[in-house]
Structure 1
């Protein structure tokens, strides 16, 4: 289960992120700090977190999706590392 955390986007505006299971950072890679005092003023969500969460849920539910996601990753990965 994932929790939401209100942090900031790159412009400093409040935005809801999805926390990693260990609750130390977000799915988009932002380290968790104090929650924004303006958390009640936004209903904006981090697109990157939401996309990552959706992909994780689809992989968990559908093994074929996991295979497709891995194939796409391998096709776009830099062979030089």
Structure 2
């Protein structure tokens, strides 16, 4: 089974770093939400991030209750 965090991992592809990049994308949007497809396209284009890293970043933010999902959008949780 693959580990979510390892000591040999490139920090630029870690879930917390990708999570911060996702939050930057959400904050730069006008209405506080972004399509997961647009998010993936922007992150893969600018940072050369894999789909798996984006998935782990979204999962990390969801587990911390920072974002919510409303298909197909990723929405910043207003309570936090």
TM-score between both structures, scaled by the size of structure 1: 0.29
Q: Which of the pair has the greater relative contact order for Cα pairs under 8 Å at 6+ separation? A: 2
Whichever of the two has the greater Rg, that structure is 1
TM-score, scaled to structure 2: 0.30
Give the structure with the higher percent helix. 2
